[in-house]
């Protein structure tokens, strides 16, 4: 047989009128409010607090204010309350993340706290207030949408799609702080860009203010509208007259098909041609040769002079007829004619050649360095035998080895019959 358990119950008004003392742990239910009180064995009904649940330690949580709050869990374990829910002295935690102890309506977010969650209105207020002030530099008016709204930089003036207070810089060039509609261009400023209409107005007014004969612009530019002449810093007496320096960024052609047209600079002669002829055959005072033409002429002149005036060539043979030849000198010929003079080497050779040798002079002596490094002095500067004191012919040196040869003294030492000497006739 099933056992039925029923708790003490009545209407709230009846409980208040009776005001009983419930036994310790005894339940009392208000049938019309669905609220519950648990007795302690000593406190009257009116003074008992309503039961609201258990905390994390298992202790009973009550509602001292006696509000109408009801806490319920549905079949899915979801939590809900019938009215406002207040947590006192603790934080609210979800399944993960940090604890929260406040839902804030402060639109300044001044607390800058990880324990506080701002309301929707607080967030909107904070973002909307991010306008230009003494410390901010950019304001976007998103009243028409985040993309189509107005943009202000350095100002609160949102009357235009883009408003800038200050200079505008592009990647290159100077800074601009104004788009000017002034048709007089009186500002003459590198910081302002005139509009199309301002430029047209300025040019039209300048042209209309001049005489019928000349059209004059700024910086000394003068156009003869009758004779189609242009003068720069001077009155035009020719097709182009320049009173000062002229720089051209593009090609300039003068007198095409007309050999009577000239270019005159200052008080000098008139020029009608820049010539690329490397022969300079015209020999003209009205032509200026190009750099390449001058170089070609000089190179050819030098080549011609060296091939015809000094050296001759027949097949693979090169020779010189008449006079002396100097290597490193133009005077050391010993009063001879048809001789070769060699000055002392600035730096004597120190490395060996391959398949040949090096001829040079050192301290007045003629020397030859062969492929093995042997240096033969074939013309000693002071050739005296240390034994007999007579002249001798050759000296040999190879590294630290050195040999001075006097044939007579050498044959005597070797016991060989001396050479037959004859006096110079």
Q: Which two tokens stand for residue 259?
A: 């050999």
Residue-level pLDDT at 132: 47
Residue 360 in any domain: the answer is yes
Residue 298 in any domain: the answer is no
- Of 41, 64, 86, which marks where a domain is finished? 86
Residue 351 in any domain: the answer is yes
Find the angle CA(225)-CA(229)-CA(233) to the nearest 5 degrees. Answer: 105
Residue 301 in any domain: the answer is no
Global confidence as pTM: 0.27
Distances (CA, A) of 326 to 57, 333, 381: 119, 8, 19
Domain housing 367 = 342-414
Residue-level pLDDT at 47: 92
Q: In 343-418, where do the E strands start and end? A: 358-362, 365-369, 375-379, 395-398, 401-404
Per residue in 297-310, pLDDT tens? 888 877 665 555 56
pLDDT tens for the 425 residues of the chain, in order: 567 878 889 999 999 999 999 999 899 999 898 888 999 999 999 999 888 765 555 555 555 544 444 555 455 545 555 556 666 556 776 767 787 888 889 988 888 988 888 999 988 888 877 654 555 555 555 565 555 666 777 777 767 667 777 776 666 778 788 888 998 888 888 888 888 898 888 888 877 765 445 555 456 777 777 777 777 777 777 777 777 776 666 556 655 555 566 676 666 777 878 888 988 888 888 888 888 988 888 888 776 655 555 677 787 787 777 778 888 888 887 888 888 888 888 899 888 888 888 998 888 888 888 888 888 877 777 666 767 766 665 666 666 666 666 767 777 777 766 555 544 44
Q: Which two tokens stand for residue 407?
A: 């044939």
Read off φ and ψ for residue 138, nearest 5 degrees.
Answer: -145, 135
Residue 380 in any domain: the answer is yes
Report the distance separating Cα 194 and Cα 212, nearest Å.
28
Task: List the beta bridge partners of residue 270.
Answer: 264
Residue 205 in any domain: the answer is no
Report the distance separating Cα 258 and Cα 162, nearest Å.
58
Count: domains in the chain: 2
Report the distance separating Cα 227 and Cα 248, nearest Å.
23
Residue 39 in any domain: the answer is yes
First to last CA, the chain: 172
Q: Which two tokens stand for residue 73?
A: 């869990």
Per residue in 352-370, pLDDT tens? 888 888 998 888 888 888 8
Q: How many CB atoms lie within 10 A of CB 52?
A: 19
Residue 227 in any domain: the answer is no
Residue-level pLDDT at 425: 47
Residue-level pLDDT at 172: 73
- Of 43, 62, 86, which marks where a domain is finished? 86
Q: Which two tokens stand for residue 331?
A: 């005077």
Which helix or strand (DSSP H or E) is residue 200 part of? helix 196-208
Q: Where are the alpha helices (DSSP H) in 76-136?
A: 120-128
CA 242 to chain CA mean position, Å = 40
Report the distance separating Cα 111 and Cα 192, nearest Å.
46
- Of 43, 63, 86, which marks where a domain is finished? 86
Do strands 150-153 and 138-141 pair parallel, antiparallel, or not at all (unpaired)? antiparallel
CA 367 to chain CA mean position, Å = 61
> Which residues lie closer than 8 Å to 249 by C-beta, 6 or more apart?
none
């Amino acid at each position: 047989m099933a056992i039925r358990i029923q708790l003490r119950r009545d209407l709230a008004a009846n409980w208040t009128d009776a005001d009983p003392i419930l036994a310790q742990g005894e339940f009392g239910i208000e049938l019309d409010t669905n609220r519950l009180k648990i007795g302690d064995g000593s406190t009257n009904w009116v003074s008992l607090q309503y039961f609201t649940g258990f905390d994390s330690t298992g202790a009973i949580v009550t509602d001292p204010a006696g509000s109408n709050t009801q806490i319920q869990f549905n079949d899915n374990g979801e939590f809900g309350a019938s009215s406002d829910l207040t947590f006192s002295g603790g934080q609210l935690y979800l399944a993960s993340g940090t604890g929260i102890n406040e839902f804030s309506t402060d639109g300044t977010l001044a607390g800058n706290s990880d324990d506080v969650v701002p309301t929707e209105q607080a967030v909107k207020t904070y973002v909307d207030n991010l306008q230009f002030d003494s410390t901010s530099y950019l304001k976007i008016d998103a009243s028409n949408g985040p993309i189509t709204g107005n943009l202000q930089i350095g100002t609160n003036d949102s009357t235009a799609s883009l408003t800038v207070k200050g200079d505008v810089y592009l990647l290159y060039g100077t800074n601009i702080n104004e788009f000017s509609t002034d048709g007089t261009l009186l500002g003459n400023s590198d910081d302002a860009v005139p509009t199309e209409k301002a430029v047209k107005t300025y040019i039209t007014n300048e042209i209309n203010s001049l005489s019928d004969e000349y059209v004059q612009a700024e910086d000394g530019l003068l156009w003869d509208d009758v004779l189609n002449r242009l003068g720069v810093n001077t009155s035009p007496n020719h097709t182009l007259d320049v009173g000062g320096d002229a720089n051209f960024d593009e090609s300039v052609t003068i007198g095409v098909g007309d050999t009577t047209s000239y270019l005159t600079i200052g008080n000098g002669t008139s020029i009608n041609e820049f010539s690329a002829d490397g022969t300079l055959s015209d020999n003209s005072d009205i032509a200026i040769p190009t750099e390449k033409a001058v170089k070609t002429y000089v190179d050819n002149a030098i080549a011609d002079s060296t091939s015809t005036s000094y050296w001759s060539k027949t097949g693979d043979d090169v020779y010189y007829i008449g006079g002396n030849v100097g290597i490193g000198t133009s005077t050391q010929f010993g009063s001879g004619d048809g001789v070769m003079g060699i000055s002392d080497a600035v730096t004597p050779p120190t490395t060996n050649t391959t398949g040949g040798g090096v001829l040079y002079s050192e301290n007045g002596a003629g020397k030859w360095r062969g492929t093995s490094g042997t240096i033969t002095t074939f013309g000693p500067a002071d050739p005296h035998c240390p034994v007999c004191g007579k002249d001798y012919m050759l000296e040999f040196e190879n590294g630290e080895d050195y040999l001075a040869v006097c044939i007579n003294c050498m044959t005597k030492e070797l016991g060989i019959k001396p050479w037959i000497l004859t006096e110079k006739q």
